[in-house]
Amino acid sequence: MSNMASVYSDPNWFKVKEIENGIFVIEETGYVQSYLVNGEDKTLLIDTGMGFQNIQRAIESIARGPITVVNTHWHFDHTGGNELFDHIGIADSEINLIERGLTNEELISILGMGFENSLTLPKGFLLEKYQIVGKKASFSIKDGDVFNMGNRKIEAIATPGHTRGSTSFLDRYSRSLLTGLVSRDTFYAHFEESNVKSFICSLEKVISRSDEFDKLLPIHGQYPLPKSLLHEVLSAFMKIDAGAEPDAIDHSWGPECYLYRFSSFEVLVKPPGAKGINVIPQ
Ligand SMILES: [Zn+2]
How many Å lie between the centroid of ligand 1 and the Cα of residue 151? 30
How many Å lie between the centroid of ligand 1 and the Cα of residue 236? 19
pLDDT at 211 exceeding the cut of 90: yes
How many Å lie between the centroid of ligand 1 and the Cα of residue 180? 8
How many Å lie between the centroid of ligand 1 and the Cα of residue 79? 10
Give the predicted TM-score (pTM) of the model: 0.94
Contacts of 131 (CB under 8 A, 6+ apart): 3, 4, 101, 102, 103, 104, 107
CATH code given to domain 4-183+197-227: 3.60.15.10
What CA–CA distances, in Å, run from 245 to 258, 259, 260, 277?
Answer: 9, 9, 8, 20
How many Å lie between the centroid of ligand 1 and the Cα of residue 173? 27
Sign, CA torsion 103/164/82/11: positive
Query: Contact at 8 Å (CB) between 176 and 209?
Result: no
How many Å lie between the centroid of ligand 1 and the Cα of residue 45? 17
How many Å lie between the centroid of ligand 1 and the Cα of residue 40? 30
Residue 9 banded pLDDT, cuts 50, 70, 90: confident
pLDDT digits (tens, 9 = 90+) for 97-134: 999 999 999 998 888 776 656 678 999 998 899 999 99
How many Å lie between the centroid of ligand 1 and the Cα of residue 269? 14
How many Å lie between the centroid of ligand 1 and the Cα of residue 117? 17
pLDDT of the residue at 6: 57
Q: What are the residue boundaries of the structural domains of the chain, listed by start?
A: 4-183+197-227
pLDDT at 240 exceeding the cut of 60: yes
pLDDT of the residue at 112: 79
Residue 235 banded pLDDT, cuts 50, 70, 90: very high
How many Å lie between the centroid of ligand 1 and the Cα of residue 150? 30
How many Å lie between the centroid of ligand 1 and the Cα of residue 93? 15
pLDDT at 145 exceeding the cut of 80: yes
